[in-house]
């Protein structure tokens, strides 16, 4: 028995819901599908209401924006089955046996299974190169690599997890923050959760434009700073945080942050270009982290 959960915000989730419904029906599994819009009051919700007409499917239009993490927590609390399949609304399964691939993992004794991310090979529009390049280089990672460092590449847009475990470790964050995958991955490691990565990818369709993604990146760095300062991450595999901690030990974090600030305009020009450098992207994020205070 499986609960398929789709958190969404200002997006047409109907095509995804239809694809998952058909795969679930084909598998013969007892299932439910719940999609909740996080208070966007979007015109897309006209299409999303049609999810209610699908087999064992339900769409709920949230009346206030509570944040992605709290929305997921609400979905999990509404679920009635022992296993949750979380899948973001702006993706589409790469494989026709996507649901069955996950179902075959349930008897194997893992607490959570991560399917991975994929991007189409076509070059993106010039205003979406940053998100696409980051995705291709950092998120589109085969399971054989992800399984070598289990908690490093945690993408919560596509994963299977025990309901009881998710509700236990993913206590609803009181702040509406962007970038809480950092915290989720660390919590899985801290709680010694038995996880597995498989090649059961979804294509990421909702690629942000460059300016929006750069803004989201800074928010994600600020979220990491907040949860690190609150000492909620004791064991982790977060490269950015490890780099900051190394600089701090050497007493160079403040100097590094100010030095990078002098090059910020030049770096941003590169990141917003047709060919963004991931090395400069890493420096940009680390510099921003080093300058955060309070």
CATH label of the domain that carries residue 60: 3.90.550.10
Domain boundary among 142, 177, 208: 208
Asked if pLDDT for residue 8 goes beyond 90, the answer is yes
Same domain? For 125 and 172 the reply is yes
Same domain? For 236 and 148 the reply is no
Q: Phi and psi dihedrals of 55, rounded to 5?
A: -65, 125
Structural domain span for residue 204: 2-208
Q: In which order are the strands placed within the sheet that holds 195-197?
A: 57-61, 31-37, 2-8, 83-87, 158-162, 112-114, 195-197
**pLDDT of 141-158, one tens digit each?**
999 999 999 999 999 999
Same domain? For 175 and 256 the reply is no
Percent of the chain with pLDDT over 90: 85
The number of domains in the chain is: 2
Going by pLDDT thresholds of 50, 70 and 90, the confidence category of residue 98 is very high
Helix axes 264-271, 278-291, angle to 10 degrees: 140
User: Residue 72, class by beta-carbon neighbours within 10 Å (0-12 exposed, 13-18 middle, 19+ buried)?
Assistant: buried
Report the 10 Å Cβ neighbour count for 175.
Answer: 11
Same domain? For 199 and 222 the reply is no
pTM: 0.93
């Amino acid at each position: 028995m499986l609960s398929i959960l789709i958190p969404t915000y200002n997006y047409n989730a109907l095509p995804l819901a239809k694809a998952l419904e058909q795969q679930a029906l084909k598998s013969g599994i007892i299932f439910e599908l719940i999609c909740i819009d996080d208070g966007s009051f979007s015109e897309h919700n006209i299409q999303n209401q049609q999810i209610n007409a699908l087999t064992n499917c339900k769409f709920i239009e949230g009346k206030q924006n509570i944040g992605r993490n709290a929305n997921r927590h609400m979905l999990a609390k509404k679920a009635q089955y022992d296993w949750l399949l979380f899948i973001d609304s702006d993706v589409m399964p790469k494989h026709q046996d996507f649901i069955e691939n996950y179902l075959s993992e349930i008897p194997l004794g893992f607490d959570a299974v991560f399917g991975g991310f994929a991007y189409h090979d076509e070059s993106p529009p010039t205003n979406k190169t940053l998100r696409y390049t980051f995705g291709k280089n950092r998120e589109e990672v085969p399971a054989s690599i992800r399984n070598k460092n289990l908690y490093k590449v945690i993408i919560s847009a596509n994963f299977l997890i025990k309901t009881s475990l998710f509700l236990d470790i993913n206590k609803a964050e009181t702040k509406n923050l962007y970038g809480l995958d950092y915290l989720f991955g660390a919590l899985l490691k801290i709680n010694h959760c038995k996880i597995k990565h498989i090649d059961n990818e979804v294509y990421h369709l909702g690629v942000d434009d460059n300016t929006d993604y750069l803004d989201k990146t800074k928010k994600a760095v600020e979220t990491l700073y907040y949860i690190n300062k609150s000492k909620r991450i004791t064991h982790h595999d977060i490269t950015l945080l490890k780099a900051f901690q190394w600089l701090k030990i050497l007493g160079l974090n403040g100097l590094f942050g100010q030095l990078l600030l002098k090059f910020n305009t030049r770096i941003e020009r590169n990141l917003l270009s047709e060919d963004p450098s991931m090395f400069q992207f890493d420096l940009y994020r680390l510099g921003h982290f080093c300058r955060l205070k309070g």
